[in-house]
A and B are shown apart, each in its own frame.
Chain A
Amino acid sequence: QVQLQQSGPGLVEPSGTLSLTCTVSGGSLSGNSWWTWVRQSPGEGLEWIGEIFHTGHNNYNPSLRSRATISEDRSKNLVFLTVTSVTAADTAIYFCARRQYGMGGIDSWGQGILVTVSS
């Protein structure tokens, strides 16, 4: 059973860069899965940020206006998210998740990490 654990700073200053790490255990990044980031603003719904495949191919949500980058370190089973030029609107709980290739959809979620953008 794959397990996902997010880590990173819980507080980021406005105009700064948000950097999060997702540690994947019980599975390999090289499998047939997309590694995904989703966020949820306080009291709001879910927003898909983007994903990465083991080939290095990415898909992103244009709503972040190219501020988001998802990368990986397959040797360490880590997936990274960076969001640049953050504002208060980026305050949210950030989840990493695994989406199965094809019809499988998201089948595993990390517990989430709250990131607050504030000075």
Chain B
Amino acid sequence: DVQMTQSPSSLSASVGDRVIITCRASLDIGNYLAWFQQKPGEAPRSLIYAASSLHSGVPSHFSGSGSGRDFTLTITSLQPEDFATYFCQQYNRFPFTFGPGTTVDIK
């Protein structure tokens, strides 16, 4: 299986901060990489597909980049509603696998 790692596992930030979360795949996955946001008690929300494309309705202060094995999710100017856990997922090779998550909480 393709192993996905994320760093950091958690971080504390303030409203207005720039946050960068990294995701690394154990194999080259091209740009078959997605990012999801999940708040406690809720279903995941799809943010980004194909490493850098935003799903409809996702605010533009979210962005994704990377290809191959290394990817980043950047949140510029963190908003109060952005405090959540973020997961990456590769969908290049079966079985599709998720990263362990990065929790962004309030400093």
Contacts and interface: CB of A to CB of B under 8 A. Distances in A.
Interface string A93-118: 00100011001111111111000000
Contact of B49 (A38, A45, A95, A104): A104
A2 to B, nearest CB: 12
Given A45-B100, A46-B98, A105 B91 contact: yes
Contacts of A103: 31-32, 49-50, 53
Contacts, number: 61
A61 B95 contact: yes
B80 interface: no
A45 B94 contact: no
Given A45-B101, A105-B34, A105-B50, A62 B44 contact: no
Contact of A109 (B45, B89, B97): B45
B100 A59 contact: no
Contacts of B94: 59, 61
A47 interface: yes
Contact of B46 (A48, A60, A109): A109
B67 to A, nearest CB: 12
A3 to B, nearest CB: 12
A112 B100 CA distance: 19
Given A105-B50, A107-B49, A45 B87 contact: yes
B96 to A, nearest CB: 4
Interface in A66-119: 95, 99-100, 103-112
A106 B46 contact: yes
Given A45-B99, A46-B44, A48-B95, 4 more contacts: A45-B98, A45-B100, A95-B44, A109-B43
Interface of A: 38, 45-48, 59-63, 95, 99-100, 103-112
19 contacts: A46-B36, A46-B87, A48-B95, A59-B94, A60-B95, A61-B94, A61-B96, A99-B91, A103-B31, A105-B32, A105-B50, A105-B89, A105-B91, A106-B36, A106-B49, A106-B91, A109-B44, A109-B45, A111-B43
